[in-house]
Chain A
Amino acid sequence: MKRRLGLLLWLVAATAVFADDGKLSEVLARLRQSGQASFQYMETRELELAASPWQAQGIMLTDAAGTLVKLQLQPSRVIMAISGDNLYYWDAAQNRRHSMPIGYADQAAEQILVFRGILRGRPDELQAGYELAAEFQGQGWSLHMLPKPGENAPAIDISGDADPDKRRISIRQADGETTEYRIEKADPQQAAAYTIPQLLQEAGGE
């Protein structure tokens, strides 16, 4: 009797696991993409030292080589990019420019690396540092990424609806600061206005 009960419980648990794994695969499949892509984004950040949420908007571009350029257009022009193993930052208004190896940068770089994985549709690359869980509610879906114990990484929620070109990405740092991105595929005209090499050149100050 006990053996049958044990077998039953195992079957229930295994079904639940496989069912969950199925959802995860489906969500990952929705996110997966390759090649060049351009997005427009709205960013809302809640900083510990800011009086109110701070908002910005701009364009993000990725390519097959894994380059990510985030061009903030509003409230001021700022470029943040990762190309190869380097991080570039250029704030024209403050005349502040940085470039450094990603491994050298602090948690901001960690966040942008995660972000690149998501934008390139490869969140599975992040599985080494994260527990992934997928969820569906009607037309909506979400992917919860919780850092594994001991990992000093932000918690991330990615969600979407029936529109495959729209995403909402929420990032919560260990210190409680949050960043929310609403992104959608940029229209071709807008995407054509910017190229990755040109923006990298501007960020690098060449």
Chain B
Amino acid sequence: MSFVWRKRWFLLLFPLLLAATIWQIRVESDLNAFFTNTDDADSKLLSGLLQSGELSRRYLLVVEAAAPGQTDAAGVAAFSGKLVQRLGKLADVEQVWPASQPPRDWLNAVQFYAPYHARIFSLNPAQDAEAIFAIDSLPQRAEGLKQVLLSPQGGFIKAIAKQDPLLLSLNGFKNLQNQFQPGRGDGGALILQSRPAALDSAAQEQLQTAIRANFDDLNQAAGQAFRLSMAGVPVFSTAAHAEISRDVTLVSTVSSISVVLVFLVLFRSFAALHWIMLLQAAAFVIGTLATTLIFQQIHSLTLALGASLIGICVDYPLHVMVHSAKHRSSPLANVRLLGPSLFLGGLTTVIGYAAMGFSGFPGFEQIAVFALFSISASLGLTRWVLPALLDKTDLRVAHLPGIGCWVDFCGRRRKLLASLIGVAGLLALLALPNLRWMDDMQNLAMNMDELKQQDQAVRAHFSSIEPGRFVLIQADNFEIALQRSEAAERRLQALKQAGVLGDYHGLFPWLISQSLQTENARVYDAALTRPFQDAWFAAVEQAGLSTEKLAHLQPAETSDLLPETVLNTPVRHILSGQLLQTQQGVALSIWLGDHDPARLIAGLQGLEGTRYFSQKAQLNQLASQYRDRSLRMLAIGIAAMGVLIWLQQRSFRKTLLTLLPSLAAVLFIFASWALLGEELSFLHVIGLLLSVSLCVDYGIFFMENRGSDSGVTYNAIAASTLTTLASFGALGLGKTPTLPILAMSVSLGVTLGFLLCPLLIPKTSPA
């Protein structure tokens, strides 16, 4: 195909590709999807928890006096009451309620259990029967019933008492009463459930603005006497979204501008620049489209790291241009000359990214796919389109100072320098045992200390249930899961009495196994003796209550209270976050208050399908898995690159020499980190893996030296190094810790690898 048609096809297809990408693209900013969403069952569970429906949509709001003594508790409660009414009217608010009072429909849901009172009254029916059915207590219970009927709760209790005169169905809900005791939270603690998903950042931002506007409005009328604090998953997710968006914009912009500047300094040609940038844009668009089509979405961090790929993809045309400029030959001739080296270099880089994708870290799978398509596209475009685009462009390249001197110096002092490197290598090996590995994956999370402090301050106003640590119950079906959950709750009751556990939120009596229902019904029917019935009749009569409506106790219902029936009521909102979706079977969680993990784990021992789950421990375990796999992948990646180089060079010595600069760079960087006491994560290893895959390219170019001029080849490598540093260096500006770690690892690796190339690889004749 003629150059004219190649150019036309490129200029025609690129806008079409761009349009298709804009049409298909769906950008994801959920950090959880990037960090934890793996195939591992526990990781999936963790990911599901972080994204779980209702809980993740809840805000915790705290209204307090703006200054001590500015208002009293009653003032705060009154102001909060007004705020609740205002916020309840917002379109994006599903429900808002004071933390000390469950929503009215939750409380009303308790009435639903009245007909089943005989089947649900106790977790330990046989053990509790003596106290619950004590004949002596009946006069007091009847009197208590009368008093509660006369109280403001009379209407609520009446509906229950007509079906359950002994109020047995309320027995299991005593814990709920404790949970919502006024004063445990305070008048200013509110819970708001939003309609949009927690990760719908735009909607959540709007809602947060509306919440603040309504508060400010009321507060202005109250003389600025109050202040408002917010916490909850949506607060973190919007903050994270804002930070990531900032990172993506900053990194992409700085990376692109840096590469452009390096390019302009090197070639001083806007004509060449716009063609090269068009090629890189096309490679970026192809990577984005392919990743979106394969994963149905693309993470914003993939785009940020993808932007850094510009610095790598630009290497291929750059090599061609440097050779064309230095030798005053056509780009087509140089593309043909350098083609095999470029292809092998591209292939080793793809292997590096593929190894990174196999490290198990979910976010890197996307980046690997992105890199595969972008690098392939860049190589293809360099091979077939670049010569057409630069056909009539006059190429000149700036002389990089010091490059020739360094090559000459290395040539002259090779033996001495090589010996020094050898000694340094031995010392570096000795330092390796001092490497420190990062145990806490939280260190890789975004720095949100201020937000975390605010979160802790807000949560102090709510119940003491800890987020992220719970008892996990798994089973093949709901009935077994409930039986296991009930067994766990019995243990937890004992642990609570022993002081191991402050409090817990279980599923009993909201959901009860059929087995326990049968046991309750048996105990109830056995307790309903003639003397008991007569005593109750007398107690009701004595209290002045209607014997006709309250004195006749009916035998237990024979039909079970089924979970699906319960979950059709507002109870499903109450249990939100405790019924977990898993790939196989059913998983339930029991939330825990303050506890001693070791004693709690010991206390739960022997219970089938029941274990203690710590989100933090799970994250750290994941980090450790990623680290081990990334180290394996580093080794496998280097081996695969070595095999590929050997296949082309057919020489073990040459293969080793090609790999040597990058391997030495990795060794020295690891040793430096060991000596500096840097805590290493899998991200450091992945960064080095990437730097190896890039440095190997330099080794290949230097070793093959297809232009027969080491000076020109090293100049081209220097230009590549500069663009790589420009683009990866920009990652260092990101606030998401992933980005600076990768920036540091790759930049260090690439710089050292570049400097070591002429030192460790002797000048060769062209391949």
A residues engaging B (CB < 8 A)? 45, 47-52, 54, 78, 80, 83-87, 89, 91, 93-94, 96, 98-101, 103-109, 112
Contacts and interface: CB of A to CB of B under 8 A. Distances in A.
A107 B155 contact: yes
Interface string B530-554: 0000000000010011110110000
B82 interface: yes
Interface in B117-169: 144, 146-156, 158, 161-162
Interface stretch (B51-59, B73-81, B755-763): B73-81
Contacts of A91: 147, 151
B155 A108 contact: yes
The 3 A-B residue pairs with the shortest CB-CB distance in the complex, in nearest-first order? A108-B152, A85-B81, A84-B78
Contacts of A100: 101, 182
Nearest to A200: B74
B81 A101 contact: yes
Interface string B545-567: 11101100000000000000000
B549 A48 contact: yes
A101 B101 contact: yes
B147 A94 contact: yes
A87 B81 CA distance: 12
13 contacts: A49-B158, A49-B546, A50-B545, A51-B547, A54-B150, A54-B544, A86-B77, A94-B144, A94-B147, A94-B148, A96-B148, A98-B153, A101-B77
A109 B152 contact: yes
B155 A93 contact: no
A51 B549 CA distance: 9
A81 to B, nearest CB: 11
Given A94-B148, A109-B152, 6 more contacts: A51-B544, A51-B545, A86-B81, A96-B148, A98-B152, A101-B98
A136 B545 CA distance: 38
B110 to A, nearest CB: 13
B155 A49 contact: no
Contact of A84 (B77, B144, B153, B155): B77
B153 A49 contact: no
B85 interface: yes
Nearest to A104: B101
Interface in B363-409: none
A85 B161 contact: no
Interface string B689-706: 000000000000000000
B438 interface: no
B572 to A, nearest CB: 21
A49 B549 contact: yes
A159 B621 CA distance: 76
B279 to A, nearest CB: 65
B155 A48 contact: no
A85 B104 CA distance: 16
A85 B155 contact: no
A32 to B, nearest CB: 26
Contacts of B146: 50, 54
B451 to A, nearest CB: 29
Contacts of B104: 104, 106
Interface of B: 74, 77-78, 81-82, 84-85, 97-98, 101, 104, 144, 146-156, 158, 161-162, 182, 541, 544-547, 549-550
A103 B78 CA distance: 11
A49 B545 contact: yes
A51 B541 CA distance: 8
Nearest to A53: B544
A84 B74 contact: yes
B547 A86 contact: no
B71 to A, nearest CB: 12
Contacts of A86: 74, 77-78, 81
Contact of A49 (B78, B149, B156, B541): B149
Contacts of B156: 106
A94 B146 CA distance: 11
A85 B150 contact: no
Contacts of B547: 51
B689 to A, nearest CB: 59
Contact of B153 (A54, A83, A85, A108): A108
Nearest to B80: A101
A52 B158 contact: no
A156 B97 CA distance: 31
A132 B144 CA distance: 38
Nearest to B143: A94
Contact of B162 (A49, A85, A94, A101): A49
Contact of A48 (B101, B152, B158): B158
B152 A80 contact: yes
A50 B74 contact: no
Contacts of B85: 103
A171 to B, nearest CB: 13
Nearest to A97: B182
B149 A47 contact: yes
Contacts of B81: 84-86, 101, 103
A94 B143 CA distance: 9
Contact of A96 (B77, B84, B151, B161): B151
A91 B148 CA distance: 9
Contact of B78 (A45, A48, A85): A85
Contacts of A78: 151
A95 to B, nearest CB: 10
A176 B216 CA distance: 45
A84 to B, nearest CB: 4
Contacts of A87: 152
A133 B81 CA distance: 33
Contact of A105 (B147, B152, B544): B152
Contacts of A105: 152
A98 B547 CA distance: 28
Contacts of A48: 158, 546, 549
A122 to B, nearest CB: 20
B146, B148, B152, most chain A CB atoms within 10 A: B152
